[in-house]
Structure 1
Amino acid sequence: MSKLLAPNAGPASLSRRIVQQGKYETITMLRNGEQLILAIVLPLMALVGLSVTPLLDGLGGSRVDIATPGILALCAMSTAFTGQGIATGFDRRYGVLRFLSTTPLGRGGLIAGKILAVLVVLFLQVVVVTIVAGLLGWHPAPAGWLPGLALLVLGAAAFTALGLLVAGTVRPEATLAITNLLWILLGALGGIVVPAERLPALAQSIVHFLPSGALGQALREAFLHGAIAWPAALVLLLWTLIAGAAAIRWFKWN
């Protein structure tokens, strides 16, 4: 009887807490119908639309070959920036962040759990988009998979930092408006889905310095040519570091 009553395990390790928090965040994101539309349905609609219209003709590849890297980049922005930003903003409003930050999970563990959830959902998005794009005739450069996925993770890190920065500094209602508006603007004119060559002249001069344009260009270079666009990768790294530092400095937990 004494063996049954005696504790046989200590407190959960930090890594286990992070995994459990990441699991919770992932399930929450996947159960949210609005986020699923933003993360899966709209990118797939854009993929099909770009594959059957002449918007991307004349850019050195088939429509689906040029469209798919941009759609993968759009998935990263949808989940890491818009989805995570909105979820974090409302968690902050209802006191969830303040409560969790005082538990053994801690603030660092909470952020790590959110990042883990973004990566899991992004993996599922990549699988779905790859299957649909393959059915549409996508033929990515084999050498582009490793750098492409690495750059996709870097882009997700940049957009997660931006999403947390917005969610932690403005009201939840404003977070909802800002993230959705930027998703539309960057998706249409930010070089993430449509290459800079197809954008208005004014947009062409600035999209390469935006995280959207840099990620779109980097993924197209990787999956079309099997190469790494180092300037675009540097832009993504700078956005990650600057937005991450700003989020750490100004994030409000209540």
Structure 2
Amino acid sequence: MTLPATRPLPARSKPAALSRRILLQGRYETLTMLRNGEQLILAIVLPLLALVALAVTPLLDGLGASRINIATPGVLALCAMSTAFTGQGIATGFDRRYGVLRFLSTTPLGKAGLIAGKVLAVLAVLVLQAVVVAVIALFMGWQPPLTGILLGIPLLALGAVAFTALGLLVAGTVRPEATLAITNLLWILFGALGGIVLPPTRLPDAVSAVVHFLPSGALGEAMRDALVHGQFNLLSVVVLLGWSFVASAAAIRWFKWS
């Protein structure tokens, strides 16, 4: 009696390539973020309120450029922090609670793939944020240099990578309630005293000396140097690269699926 020949598994039953897994996860994360009303408030409404507030108050007077020219780079940086750190961190923390991440841990995606997919989602939403903020700022008189725009795009992407890694590090290592508290508290502290919206010269002396080495201060200064003066801030880029590498490595090492 002869046994039937074993048929090879069809190609579609094999795991997809890692790049496709990451793209699919990024698409899922993007749609989830855009359908969440709270995320949209954090991503769009609050940055626009900050833009208008800085443009109509004298907080940025005396810095050598118009209020809107100084305010817009910082608000764009705030968009990156809002979506990548606070929004993504909170969403991931509660995904852990409800078992979504436990389900993903049974797939070939892996921790590195999950982080890469979330970074893609943050970048996709950040494009939408940047377009909305830039259009409003242009109507308010914003006049960025062309070289600054070319520098600002990769800087904003680098900032999103750094803050996504930090958000996932928090969300993957502490309880969801603690993630909610930590990310919201740091959003307030970074926004008010972290050099992301207000330049270091507008902060207390004790704070201005260290904000350059925070991810918020580094991104804020890099964006202002690019979009106000058309200059490349090497120190800020090195700081952001350092935060990106350390936070990503730590998140991959200590991230817990449940």
TM bracket (short chain): over 0.9
1:129-161 deviation digits (Å, cap 9, x = unpaired): 110000000000111112211111111111011
Question: Are 1:240 and 2:244 an aligned pair?
Answer: yes
Instruction: Tell me whether 1:193 sits opposite 2:201 in the alignment.
Output: no
SS at match of 1:194: coil
Give the Å deviation of 1:206: 1.2
AA at the equivalent of 2:104: L
Residue of structure 2 equivalent to 1:172: 176
**1:13 Cα deviation after fit:** 3.5
Shift of 1:10: 6.1
Partner of 1:4: none
Distance across 2 between alignment mates of 1:8 and 1:200 = 61
**Given the alignment of the two structures, is residue 126 of structure 1 paired with residue 130 of structure 2, yes or no?**
yes
1:205 is the counterpart of 2:209: yes
Deviations 1:112-134, CA, capped at 9 Å, x for gaps: 21111001000101100110000
Deviations 1:79-130 (A, max 9, x none): 0000110111111112211211211333332222111100100010110011
Structure 2: runs of 5 or more not aligned: 1-9
SS of the residue aligned with 1:61?
coil
Q: Does 1:36 align with 2:60?
A: no
Q: Which amino acid aligns with 2:158?
A: L
Query: Which of 87, 96, 103 in structure 2 is aligned with 1:99?
Result: 103
CA contact (8 A) 1:101 1:110 kept: no
Q: Hey, what's the Cα distance between the residues in 1 that align with 2:48 and 2:216?
A: 18
Query: 2:111, 2:255 within 8 Å by CA — same for their partners in 1?
Result: no
Aligned residue number for residue 148 of structure 1: 152
Per the TM alignment, residue 8 of structure 1 is displaced from its structure 2 partner at its CA by 8.6
Structure-2 separation of matches of 1:36 and 1:108: 26
The alignment yields a C-alpha RMSD, in angstroms, of 1.5
- What is the aligned residue count? 249
* Counterpart residue identity of residue 170, structure 1: V
Task: Report the equivalent of 1:64.
Answer: 68
Instruction: Write the distance in 1 (CA, Å) between the matches of 2:40 and 2:230.
Output: 30
Alignment of 1:76-91 (within 5 A): 76-91=80-95
Q: Determine if contact 1:78/1:183 at 8 Å carries over to the other structure.
A: yes
% identity of equivalent residues: 73
After TM superposition, the score normalised by the length of structure 1 is: 0.94
Deviation at 1:219, TM superposition (A): 0.3
- Partner amino acid, structure 1, of 2:224: R
Give the unaligned 5+ runs of structure 1. Answer: 1-6
**TM-score, structure 2 length as denominator?**
0.92
The residue type equivalent to 2:210 in the other structure is I
Give the distance between the partners of 1:228 and 1:129, measured in 2 at CA.
22
Assess if the C-alpha contact under 8 Å between 2:115 and 2:168 holds in 1.
no
Distance 1:23 1:145 in 2: 26
Using the TM superposition, name which of 8-17 and 162-171 deviates more.
8-17
Quick check: 1:192–1:212 contact (8 Å CA) kept in 2? yes
Q: Secondary structure at the match of 1:80?
A: helix
Distance 1:95 1:10, change over 3 A: closer
Contact 1:144–1:227 (CA under 8 A) maintained in structure 2: yes
Tell me, in whole angstroms, the C-alpha distance in 2 between the residues paired with 1:91 and 1:210: 28
Structure 1 residue 9: deviation in Å? 5.4
